[in-house]
Amino acid sequence: MNDEILYRRLLMRDQQALSAVLNQYGGLLKYIIGNTVVLTAEEIEECMSDALFLIWQRIEKYDNTKASLKSWIIMVTRSAAIDYYRKTAKHKKTVFIEEVSSTLIFQEAFDLLSIEEIIERLQMLPPPDNEIFYDRFILGENMDRIADKHEISKENAYKRITRGRLKLKEIFAKEGL
């Protein structure tokens, strides 16, 4: 099913559309959740349910002129994973995978800006830092893959993220985010 039909069905509150989202994007949802926080298989399933519920609740906010449905689903899923972490962290210790602070810094930006606006800010970073941030925080790739892709060490990739994060914090602060 193409994204336009899926979007219309979700807007019409067709419950089978959620099954279609799960069939079409279920693997991606698991990947995004698994690359955001470390959870057990049961917790991942619960977090996926939370993500589907958020998709259902927020579908009216989706704007196809700003991002593809897939990109929007990625952002909603990442938001659900972070919300799940915050909710469960009070009761048990959950470990974030790589760059906890960077993910949390971008959470507010993801909530306030469209994906295109976020990418626009990432472009303010010099190459390859902007590409590393895109790979890590938009695509959700792991640091080993990013290091291989950019032919740098994993440690260098972490350093670039740390420096880039500081630059982006300045950019976001200037814009009041």
Q: Give the residue extent of every domain in the chain.
A: 1-97, 99-177
Architecture in CATH for domain 99-177: Orthogonal Bundle (1.10)
CA-closest candidate to residue 129, choices 170, 121, 68, 173: 121
Cα separation, 16 vs 6, in Å, equals: 10
- Please indicate whether residue 30 or residue 116 has the higher confidence score (pLDDT): 30
* pLDDT, position 21: 93
* pLDDT, position 165: 82
Q: How confident is the model at residue 133 (pLDDT cuts 50, 70, 90)?
A: confident
High-pLDDT (> 90) share of the chain, %: 26
Residue 100 above 60 pLDDT? no
Q: Which of 40-54, 98-112, 133-147 has the highest mean pLDDT?
A: 40-54
Alpha helices in the chain (DSSP H): 3-11, 15-34, 41-58, 69-89, 100-112, 115-122, 129-133, 143-150, 154-174
Q: How confident is the model at residue 107 (pLDDT cuts 50, 70, 90)?
A: low
- Please indicate whether residue 102 or residue 59 has the higher confidence score (pLDDT): 59
Architecture in CATH for domain 1-97: Orthogonal Bundle (1.10)
* pLDDT, position 77: 92
* pLDDT, position 94: 38
Which of 74-88, 98-112, 130-144 is least confident? 98-112
